[in-house]
Amino acid sequence: MAYHLIAYFAVFLPAVILIYQLTPQKFRWMTLLAADYLFFWMLSGKLIVYLLAATLMCHDIGLWLDKINEREGLSQKERVRKKRYVLALGIFVQLTILLVLKYFNFFGENISALLNALSFHWEYETIEFLVPVGISYYTLQTISYMTDVYRGNTKAEQNIAKIALYLSFFPQIMEGPISRFSQTAEALWSGKAVSYENLKSGYQRIIYGLLKKIVIADRIAPVASKVFGNYMEYDGSVIAFGVLAFTLQLYMEFSGCMDIIMGTGQIFGVCLPENFRQPFFATSASDFWHRWHITLGTWFKDYIFYPVSLAKPVKNLAKKVKNRFGRNISKFVAPSIALFCVWTCNGLWHGPYWTYIFYGMYYFVLIFLENILQEPTDRLLAKLHIKRDGTGYHIFAVVKLFLIVNIGEMFFRAESVSAGFVMLGKMITDFHISELLDKLFRLGMDQYDFGVAVVGILLVWVVDLLHEKNESIREMTGRWKTPLRWGFWYAVIMIVVIFGAYGSGYTVVDMIYAGY
């Protein structure tokens, strides 16, 4: 049951809200937990055992770490060593389950290919694993909880039901955001009544998310599917249009689903962490990733980047480089090694495909180059009397970054890395705008679809521009007189109902990030 389907926002969610509100406050957490597990059961059936196992492990490791902290007679060094072993055990078990279910076949097939290339003949037989929905998301949440308890940032929770509620909250189980225990657990447990303000604001955000998802993303999805599925038949101009369609589809869908998720959380008084902050107004690759899938980026920063960059072997290597080459080079050693680990994990997190690994390496190289070229670039701009915060340079940086993002998404979506390079080559050497104009309305969208998509994209761009300027549409409309305010939101609802890409002629488009 996807978030954008009527069964979710018009049946399941209202039913949960009603039952939750009718339940006495001290038992409301039970209503939420029951809704969470019912939702998960409808999506994954008996695979719910994996979620139960992750919850039990998360709870027990936390208590074990706490017990070591309270044990008398241990030196600080011995205490840290024991806690490190316990944490390593918890992370190992959680990651092993994830790696086996999602990546076992990938590694098996590639090892087989490597051995065959070396004349050691071994054919790997694919094993069909059933993968529960949301495993990539709740696994990262279990690791963050255990690590935060280990670091002393979070007190181990005695009540396993509270951990179960934190890991399984139904709005975020499919696509995130990846929250920390300290961010959401207490709000989920508190059983606050659904207020009129939260209900109104929550559904407003859900409606806006539906507009992005079913009016825009689902309408342009056929273009991306057709172009990427038949790229050899098209020239570079058509491929570029297909790449642009996929980039916009991905943003509209993922951010739209986040709006639905955030709105649902708000209804229950749960403030989930934001996952997007106008990413296409970014001016560099690193800035883009501070604005896109924010919770994944901050998770990698806190639990991979900092631990790796502060690891003793990495620090020792940086010291050796400093002694031999000087500080100007050594200062990049630890951040670069940590950055490589982050982007390797980022690529693999999306799935067991070389295109995703290449995507991770693509951004590793870009951000690495940004880091080492920042000072020379600043000196060059100063010599040319160009200000980074000037309008002209800002526009140039935004346009450049938009091209970079589209190339990255092309490799992300391509059927293989080699296919991505073929598409890139066609865009460089075989680009004829007349070809695009001739095929424009034969790529899965007619004139009507094209017009609706363009208007919808412009509306979202205006809203993002206002947000970039710290203006809120909801706050702006909240200051309007009641008839005008209600008329505006009813108009938005009617736009979603009338122009949504569903019904005859449209295929239901699965949520992209629900598969990661």
Taking only the tens place, the pLDDT of each residue in 119-129 is: 778 888 888 88
Reply yes or no on whether the pLDDT at 456 is more than 70: yes
Taking only the tens place, the pLDDT of each residue in 435-452 is: 999 999 999 899 999 999
Crossing angle for the helix pair 236-267 and 218-229, to the nearest 10 degrees = 140
Burial readout 126-163 (b: 16 or more C-beta within 10 A, e: otherwise) = eeeeeebbbbbbbbbbbbbbbbbbbeeebebbeeeebb
* C-alpha 253: how far from chain center: 11
Report pTM.
Answer: 0.93
The least confident of 11-15, 120-124, 128-132 is 120-124
pLDDT of amino acid 326: 86
The pLDDT > 70 percentage for the chain reads 96
Banded pLDDT at 3 (limits 50, 70, 90): low
Helices in 152-284 by DSSP H: which ranges? 160-168, 181-190, 196-210, 218-229, 236-267
CA dihedral over 417, 128, 342, 115, signed as positive or negative: negative
Provide mean pLDDT across the span 330-344.
93
Reply yes or no on whether the pLDDT at 205 is more than 70: yes
Rounded CA separation 197/388 (Å):
41
Taking only the tens place, the pLDDT of each residue in 89-113 is: 999 999 999 999 999 999 988 888 8
pLDDT of amino acid 418: 96
474 — alpha (psi -120 to 50), left (phi > 0) or beta? Answer: alpha
Provide mean pLDDT across the span 497-511.
68
What is the chain's mean pLDDT, rounded? Answer: 91
Rounded CA separation 448/499 (Å):
10
Banded pLDDT at 2 (limits 50, 70, 90): low
pLDDT of amino acid 464: 94
DSSP string, 203-219: HHHHHHHHIIIIIIIHH
Provide mean pLDDT across the span 8-20.
90
Higher pLDDT pick, 9 / 176? 176
Provide mean pLDDT across the span 7-33.
92
Higher pLDDT pick, 136 / 9? 136
Provide mean pLDDT across the span 344-349.
95
- Nearest CA to 40 out of 181, 142, 168 is that of 168
pLDDT of amino acid 8: 78
Banded pLDDT at 331 (limits 50, 70, 90): confident
Taking only the tens place, the pLDDT of each residue in 369-379 is: 999 998 888 88
Reply yes or no on whether the pLDDT at 321 is more than 80: yes
